[in-house]
Structure 1
């Protein structure tokens, strides 16, 4: 594929269309963060109402994340086979239907099943939104636009606590049900607005639909006919992700993302539960959770503003290093007060979100070719969900058995391994077109440094 084939997309100037794709993809990520985190608000209420055991509490919290594992794997591959646009619309139907069903659940098992099905849709959106935006975004602005997806996820997560603080005085124990319905309404609005987004011309060209790809590019202002050299369409087996030269990048993306989610989800989905260890004030618990979430939003937008200037690799390394230091200090404190707990968790989330929490959506979309881009996103998302499932499923039981400060050492170890992976394997990809990046998937950090 000629590097000039998609020059209209790789222009450094952002068009109204670029902004539209970014906003509608980010809207999906907002819903991801919102719907995932609602369980943190629901948990104290349903655990008391339904007399949940520690095991069921963990299963209920992990159910949506388990759904994400399967949703990312299945729909990632389908997105490469059937196209970005079809899945871009279909997956939002899942947000609407399963959020409403979860809102009317009458026992823990009903809620668990509905949360699992909602997780399928959330996992699908990770692969679809990131792949579509990466294939439309200008090369020199791609990092910041895609990092805004991650930042919007954290805004969605923070909004759960904002809504909780607003609704609890009026709705009481039904707050989480109302919040799920509100998420379904928002998903329906986004679904309607996504109809106007055309299929990715990169996907069309890679699958042999040259004329359709040219038509999309023409509508976007392209005046060149340079798709004659486009690939004639062939299916790339998913197994290529597990063979050289792509294996190195597969291990890198899956490895650092796994370590990040192991620590991050264990902290954020149980923030109210963790804070409950040191205070009995409901307002204090939700206010502290909101502070931590908002600090995370600041971290994400800080990283998004720097990613195309300082690069992906420095952000990833600094993010893991900062998270590691904050969690180590917290683990060494035997009995932290509420202020210390909120401050140190906030610092950990600040660094995590400014690095691995946003570049996890960038790297898989940049270092893999179009034919397996969504599949690679799906695999990375699925493996990362294993880390998230481990953190969420086991945390209540481990806290009861070992105590909070001992459990925190698991997160410290995850941060240390993530930092080691980042230092040894992270490439630098800023400013390059997708075609330039995927022509040399066997790059190393050292060769990138020489190239710069």
Structure 2
């Protein structure tokens, strides 16, 4: 049930507003982008099982196909961040998903390795552009009490998308030896539904106010929250371009966000893109490896839900540190004991899936809280882009590492990356729990 608007007549901040049905709809619609991200990056792992022998792809080519969407997200996140800070959130909020539909459908007719890479890069560009747009819009409308869980829910939807991809993949891959074409096209369905649902979403009043369009911002605030709601000025920052990110100390924040985000996704993306192959190397073959990947994905979802539920209780800093510490420990054990019994291997993978939830959820929470409205999109976009460089390199290197060194050393490498994220978090992670956006954006 929605809480009723405040009955008092005095001014109140949007950061202190009650939770409305509008917020719930906005969170659901904003989750479409992360859902597609998880779906697109996971479905390729199952599709590659058919594509590889049909096209005779070697390890480097497999890695490039798997990493191509992440490369696209690198460019798309950066571009989307710049565009949304300059032109607003509302316009790109629908257009980017229309592009996902077009490029996903085009994959059905692809018969060339390089064309497949190009199309998946373009899909990645469109999905990447959605991150700074959707997360900024949701952040700027959501009251502080619900901001962490709501933004965290977007990460949860990443894992929902990944889990759905494994289930859909297992079904469609058995249709025919060309089932991989339907796998790749299938992303167009959730993209189209999300684009339609987003039509009519209002512009962010915080962004309008940052552009001096006060009357328009007031109209939107009044229509949603009532006549006594206001938003606080966050910074007064007016500098343009990426240079604004490190004015007044923001360079340190962007480096922190990029470092921990990269450390969180490198092992995760490797597991998703080549989960069945990794599990096969650990003794699980065929359909058992595919279904185990789906179960692990569901447990990753559980871990993110638990993190989202405890983010306000534990705080951002504690949640991040504990997540890296425990997930890194499980990867270390996998690397040290790759020949352990099957049930031990599955328990360790399940533990990693649950413990990594905190680091995954905070990837979108921290950058949206640590930067003011004027540069929020660029900050989220740049951090997402830079972290995807590591994610793409990690994904690209996994098949080669598995072929040359085996599963054990590959898992030890993933553990080393996670421990690096732990060290960065202990040294630099701030606490933003319970603070308004005006407070969290201050240096």
TM-score (norm 1): 0.91
Q: Deviations over 1:193-229 (max 9, x none)?
A: 1011100000000011111101111110331375798
Of the structure 1 ranges 97-106 and 360-369, higher mean CA displacement relative to structure 2 is found in 97-106
Could you tell me how far apart the structure 2 residues matched to 1:362 and 1:282 are? 37
Partner of 2:252: 248
Partner of 1:450: none
Q: Report how far residue 153 of structure 1 moved.
A: 0.5
Q: Report how far residue 347 of structure 1 moved.
A: 1.4
Q: Report how far residue 167 of structure 1 moved.
A: 2.9
Partner of 1:91: 96
Question: Is 1:335 paired with 2:309?
Answer: no
Q: Report how far residue 304 of structure 1 moved.
A: 0.6
Could you tell me how far apart the structure 2 residues matched to 1:138 and 1:274 are? 42
What is the Cα-based RMSD across aligned positions, in Å? 2.0
Could you tell me how far apart the structure 2 residues matched to 1:7 and 1:115 are? 46
Partner of 1:445: none
Q: 1:266-305 alignment to 2 at 5 Å?
A: 266-279=270-283, 281-305=285-309
Q: Report how far residue 346 of structure 1 moved.
A: 2.2
Could you tell me how far apart the structure 1 residues matched to 2:336 and 2:283 are? 20
Q: 1:411-426 alignment to 2 at 5 Å?
A: 411-426=414-429
Q: Deviations over 1:3-53 (max 9, x none)?
A: xx9946323521000001000001221112111211111111111111101
Which residue among 37, 53, 59 is the counterpart of 2:42? 37
* Contact 1:208-1:233 within 8 A present in 2 as well: no
Segments of 5+ residues of structure 1 without an aligned counterpart are: 442-452
Q: How many residues align?
A: 434
Q: Deviations over 1:121-155 (max 9, x none)?
A: 11111111111111111111100001000001101
* Contact 2:76-2:127 within 8 A present in 1 as well: yes
SS class of match (1:309): helix
TM-score (norm 2): 0.93
Which residue among 396, 405, 408 is the counterpart of 2:408? 405
CA gap 1:217/1:282 in 2 versus in 1, 3 angstroms: same
Partner of 1:189: 193
Could you tell me how far apart the structure 2 residues matched to 1:424 and 1:244 are? 20
Which residue among 98, 102, 107 is the counterpart of 1:102? 107
Segments of 5+ residues of structure 2 without an aligned counterpart are: 1-9
* Contact 2:152-2:308 within 8 A present in 1 as well: yes
SS class of match (1:245): helix
Partner of 2:182: 178
* Contact 2:43-2:169 within 8 A present in 1 as well: no
* Contact 1:12-1:141 within 8 A present in 2 as well: no
Could you tell me how far apart the structure 1 residues matched to 2:352 and 2:44 are? 21
Q: Report how far residue 285 of structure 1 moved.
A: 1.4
Q: Report how far residue 280 of structure 1 moved.
A: 6.6
Question: Is 1:132 paired with 2:137?
Answer: yes
Which residue among 411, 423, 437 is the counterpart of 1:434? 437
CA gap 1:280/1:345 in 2 versus in 1, 3 angstroms: closer
Q: Deviations over 1:251-296 (max 9, x none)?
A: 1101101111122111221101112224574220111101110110
Q: Report how far residue 339 of structure 1 moved.
A: 3.3
* Contact 1:8-1:222 within 8 A present in 2 as well: no
Partner of 1:378: 381
Could you tell me how far apart the structure 2 residues matched to 1:364 and 1:381 are? 9
CA gap 1:355/1:363 in 2 versus in 1, 3 angstroms: same
Question: Is 1:122 paired with 2:157?
Answer: no
Partner of 1:13: 18
CA gap 1:53/1:11 in 2 versus in 1, 3 angstroms: same
Of the structure 1 ranges 416-425 and 27-36, higher mean CA displacement relative to structure 2 is found in 27-36
